[in-house]
């Protein structure tokens, strides 16, 4: 029998979350789901070292990044608190991502840079302090030049996008915070339609100026769609989509993307489907996130909330930052290997190695530095508030 708390959530699922006094529940299933997205990216990069016979499927693990962008918009909107200053939001995001980024960058430089790179090691770039500095300040993702885009820690180009998204989130959140369910969903569908139209326009006019737009601008739609889905749920959207339907739909979509090249010809439906595949993945990610989050809102059982998956999800940011460095460090000395199921041993070995490095980065850098930086900011804000209060207090009247 359901508990009264679960009955209450089921009876009025999310409408109560519009009340600023109501604290929205943690969505631990999304933390568990985040691990699988990070693992998909790991499989994508492992194909460069030890491909499996299904390499053509595993390379689509790169879509894990799309999931991260949509999830980021959703989580930041779901967890937003009224009255939080934009500067506080930005500092908290800085405290969350930057310390680990710098440590991961320092670990990556010896693997991906050399003063005299061997041309056979295509992943090793000539040492260039100017380009590396772009990576330090998270500006490398504004370039389409692969030498710049994948500079420093190659995985960190996504942080350029995230930094751009964070800069815009306070304004985007203010723009949508008053939307009801219908308005939020209409806005979300509108952003998806714009993303789809952009992709089609790029295919039709590949030499146009907008085809060369920087990735943070191009990928912004993914983040905004996450915001829209979250706002719809906050406004009371009851998500009636079973997560299993999303998982099966995802498997079917990837299978279709893998098989479509066999029948694709210029201008036919298969070719257009391939050209717009990332947009259909965005839609799938948004629906999956909403379906999984809803189960947490109404208190239904979810394997994604298991202790192991939640812990792996908590490590996923650190794992994402270090896994490519671990893989390519091994590639420098061993490999690459021919496609074979025997390579599964390398997958297991490097997965364990990457997890160990991620756990160390998470517990020794990410969490303690985030805690200290946030505490410093909160103490600073408290001192300023006290000073303002003291300055505005009336002066004592002499007797």
Answer yes or no: is pLDDT of 22 > 90.
no
pLDDT, tens only, 126-155 = 999 999 999 999 999 999 999 999 999 999
Q: Phi then psi for 13, rounded to 5 degrees? A: -55, -55
Is the residue at 12 inside a domain?
no
Q: Is the dihedral of CA 161, 322, 304, 54 positive or negative?
A: positive
pTM over 0.95: no
- Measured in whole angstroms, the distance separating CA 250 from the mean position of its chain's CA atoms is 18
Is the residue at 200 inside a domain?
yes
The end-to-end CA distance of the chain, in Å, is 70
Answer yes or no: is pLDDT of 16 > 60.
yes
| Of the candidate ranges 21-25, 107-111, 165-169, the one whose mean pLDDT is the lowest | 21-25
Gap between the Cα atoms of 6 and 111, Å rounded: 50
pLDDT at 396: 63
Query: Nearest to residue 107, comparing CAs of 371, 373, 365?
Result: 365
Is the residue at 377 inside a domain?
yes
Contact by Cβ (8 Å): 113, 329: no
pLDDT at 173: 95
Of residues 395 and 330, which shows the higher confidence score? 330
pLDDT, tens only, 213-244 = 999 999 999 999 999 999 999 999 999 999 99
pLDDT, tens only, 325-359 = 999 999 998 879 999 999 999 999 999 999 999 99
Q: Give the other-Cβ count within 10 Å of 361's Cβ.
A: 22
- Token look-up 């009955």 returns 7
What is the domain count for the chain? 1
Query: Nearest to residue 350, comparing CAs of 315, 324, 317, 321?
Result: 324
pLDDT at 386: 78
Mean pLDDT over the full length of the chain: 91
Gap between the Cα atoms of 63 and 42, Å rounded: 11
Taking 3-state DSSP, the helix, strand and coil percentages for the chain, each rounded to the nearest 5, stand at 75, 0, 25
Is the residue at 276 inside a domain?
yes
Beta-strand (E) ranges in 81-164?
A: 113-114, 125-126
Q: Residue 92: give the domain boundaries.
A: 33-381
Is the residue at 391 inside a domain?
no
Answer yes or no: is pLDDT of 10 > 60.
no
Is the residue at 398 inside a domain?
no
Is the residue at 108 inside a domain?
yes
Q: Name 337's bridge partners.
A: none
Q: Give the other-Cβ count within 10 Å of 166's Cβ.
A: 21
C-alpha dihedral over 195, 198, 202, 204, to 10 degrees?
120
- Token look-up 């806005």 returns 187
Is the residue at 387 inside a domain?
no
Structure tokens at 211: 């085809």
Strand, helix or coil for residue 255? helix
């Amino acid at each position: 029998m359901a508990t009264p708390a679960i009955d209450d959530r089921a009876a009025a699922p999310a409408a109560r979350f519009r009340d600023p006094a109501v604290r929205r529940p943690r969505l631990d299933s999304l933390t568990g789901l985040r691990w699988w997205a990070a693992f998909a990216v790991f499989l994508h990069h492992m194909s460069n070292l030890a491909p499996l016979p299904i390499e053509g499927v595993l390379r689509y693990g790169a879509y894990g990044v799309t999931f991260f962008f949509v999830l980021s918009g959703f989580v930041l909107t779901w967890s937003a608190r009224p009255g939080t200053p934009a500067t506080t939001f930005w500092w908290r995001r800085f405290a969350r991502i930057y310390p680990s980024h710098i440590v991961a960058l320092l670990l990556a430089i010896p693997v991906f840079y050399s003063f005299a790179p061997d041309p056979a090691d295509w992943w090793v770039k000539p040492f260039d302090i100017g380009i590396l500095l772009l990576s330090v300040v998270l500006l490398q993702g504004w370039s389409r030049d692969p030498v710049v885009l994948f500079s420093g820690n190659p995985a960190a180009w996504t942080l350029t996008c995230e930094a751009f998204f964070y800069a815009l989130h306070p304004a985007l959140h203010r723009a949508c915070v008053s939307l009801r369910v219908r308005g939020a969903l209409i806005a979300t569908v509108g952003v998806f339609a714009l993303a789809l139209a952009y992709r089609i326009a790029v295919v039709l006019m590949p030499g146009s100026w907008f085809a060369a737009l920087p990735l943070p601008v191009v990928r912004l739609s993914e983040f905004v769609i996450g915001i829209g889905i979250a706002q719809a749920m906050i406004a009371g959207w009851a998500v009636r989509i079973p997560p299993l339907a999303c998982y099966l739909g995802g498997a079917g979509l990837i299978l279709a993307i893998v098989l479509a090249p066999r029948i694709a010809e210029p201008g036919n439906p298969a070719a257009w489907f391939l050209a717009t595949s990332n947009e259909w993945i965005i839609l799938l990610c948004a629906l999956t996130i909403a379906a999984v989050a809803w189960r947490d809102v109404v208190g239904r059982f979810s394997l994604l909330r298991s202790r192991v998956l939640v812990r792996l999800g908590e490590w996923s940011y650190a794992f994402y930052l270090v896994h490519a460095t671990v893989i390519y460090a091994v590639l420098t000395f061993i490999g690459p290997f021919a496609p074979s199921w025997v390579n599964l041993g390398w997958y297991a070995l490097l997965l364990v190695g990457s997890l160990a490095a991620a756990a160390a980065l998470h517990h020794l850098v990410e969490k303690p530095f985030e805690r200290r930086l946030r505490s410093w900011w909160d103490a600073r804000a408290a001192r300023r508030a006290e000073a303002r209060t003291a300055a505005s207090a009336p002066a004592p009247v002499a007797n």
